[in-house]
Amino acid sequence: MSILLGVIADDFTGATDIANTLAKEGMRVVQTIGVPDSGALPEANAVVIALKSRTAPVQDAVDWSLGALEWLLGQGAQQIVFKYCSTFDSTPQGNIGPVADALQTRLGEKRTVICPAFPENGRIVKVGHLYVNGTPLHESPMRDHPLTPMWDSSLKALMGAQSQGTVGEVGLDVVRQGPAAISAAMAAIEDNYIAVDATTDDDLRTIGGALANSRLLSGGSGIATGLPQNYLDQGQLTSFSKPGLPAVVGRSLILSGSASVATQSQVAYAKARMPAIEVNLDRVAEQSGYIDEICDWVLGRDASDPVLVYGTSSGEVLRRNQEKYGVAKSGEMLENTLSQVASTLASEGFTRIVVAGGETSGAVVSALGIKTLQIRDEIAPGVPWCEVPGTPARAIALKSGNFGQESFFIDALEMLE
């Protein structure tokens, strides 16, 4: 198998997000959890490697990303996309900057596009600044993110703080002139990175057209919107319509470890409509049988009801947990709890699982031992149902914290009925 496009995604929800974009645009996509070790993958034109590198130690993130790059190059990938969040989730130390620098160096690339725009979810880039639903990134709820609180909205400032390289800009006026104008503007820029404005899907398609010959690109899932068309135009790709999900028999579980504003309203909505249990981190710390207790409680609910297990809380509880146990440790405690709950319940007939939170999804999918995912029906922009290959049929949806409407969890499960 020789693939056209390889994606290195810095978290698992981001990976399903970009895999979903590529699948919608006609590519056969497989998402792998980490670098595949051995064995044949299903036939694909694009492989998305999901890493849990967003908040890992910088050197780990770089090493894992370079490992993923080598594997993708070994499969014949002509283009590589480094996928990060459309809210540029990172700190002044990384990991977007150091990973992008390392990928650039390995590929011998001089200039790489930076384009986190995802207009369908309210994230746009204008005059080099990232906005979330009209608010500058660092004034949006992302300023309070538990792991990557965002401190600026200028891509030049954000990337400048964490990369060895310099950042130039291509404005919307140029983008609207078409692919040739973008290519000419990019060629005239000496900087290592080029932040490109985009406020609509049409802009992303135009930018995609200008990047047909770029070996390395970086951005949110939106940067992939226009790429499949290049392969279709070049006769390298025959458009493929993904199949829908097979019937998935079994119980339904929602695991929420995101503290994001959208997830808070989704948890409140779901709690009023299904059995739900909150994870208490003090009990995680103090009581060895606590996770079993949660699982027993879930197993005791009516088998026809979905069940919600959540750590999503008010900002007050989050801050108290972080002060008491530390930011990284408290996050890990919740991720580990939800992962253990997932693996116990998966062996008890829970075959339909929705996870909210990027880091949380990484922890849960790893604990479940899932190696590959196939993208199926879209639940909300950026969030597809995924089929876990094998029997019995299993479905999992990985939702980035801020994605989805209030009724997301219920809507997702209704799609399986």
Residues that bind ligand ADP (CB under 6 A): 146-147, 257-260, 281, 311-313, 317-318, 321, 330-331, 334-335, 357-360, 400-401
Nearer to ligand ADP, 146 or 384 (CB): 146
Nearest to 298 by CA among 258, 235, 344: 344
Between CA 358 and CA 55, with CA 370 as vertex, the angle to 5 degrees is 30
Shortest Cβ 398–ligand ADP spacing (Å): 9
Given the structure tokens 């970009």, which residue do they identify? 18
Smaller CB separation from ligand ADP, 221 or 230? 221
Query: What are φ and ψ of residue 109, in 5° steps?
Result: -90, 145
CB of 312 to ligand ADP, least distance (A): 6
Q: Can you tell me which residue has the tokens 């890992």?
A: 56
Query: Would you say 181 or 277 has its CB closer to ligand ADP?
Result: 277
131 or 310, CB closer to ligand ADP?
Answer: 310
Query: Which is nearest to 84 in space by CA: 51, 106, 57?
Result: 51
Q: Min. distance of Cβ 248 from ligand ADP in angstroms?
A: 24
Tell me how far, at minimum, the Cβ of 327 lies from ligand ADP, in Å: 8
| Residue number with the smallest Cβ distance to ligand ADP | 401
The secondary structure of residue 383, as a DSSP letter, is E
Going by C-alpha positions, the residue among 397, 414, 393 that lies closest to residue 31 is: 397
In whole angstroms, how close is the CB of 261 to ligand ADP at the nearest point?
A: 9
| Closer Cβ to ligand ADP, 138 or 242, answer by number | 138
Q: How far is the CB of 158 from ligand ADP (least distance, A)?
A: 17
Q: How far is the CB of 416 from ligand ADP (least distance, A)?
A: 22
Distances (CA, A) of 381 to 90, 114, 211, 222, 350: 22, 21, 23, 11, 25
3-state secondary structure of 90: coil
Neighbour-count burial for 62-78, b at 16+ CB within 10 Å, e otherwise: bebbbebbebbeebebb
User: HSE on the CB side for 215, CA within 13 Å?
Assistant: 16
Between helix 12-24 and helix 358-367 the angle, nearest 10°, is 90
Q: By the 8 A CB rule, do 113 and 217 touch?
A: yes
If the CB atoms of residues 228 and 357 are measured against ligand ADP, the closer one turns out to be 357
Q: How far apart are CA 150 and CA 62, in angstroms?
A: 21
Query: Which is closer to ligand ADP, CB of 106 or CB of 283?
Result: 283
Comparing CB distances to ligand ADP, the nearer of 192 and 258 is 258
Q: How far apart are CA 390 and CA 201, in angstroms?
A: 35
Q: How far is the CB of 259 from ligand ADP (least distance, A)?
A: 4
Decide: 388 and 12 in contact? Cβ < 8 Å: no
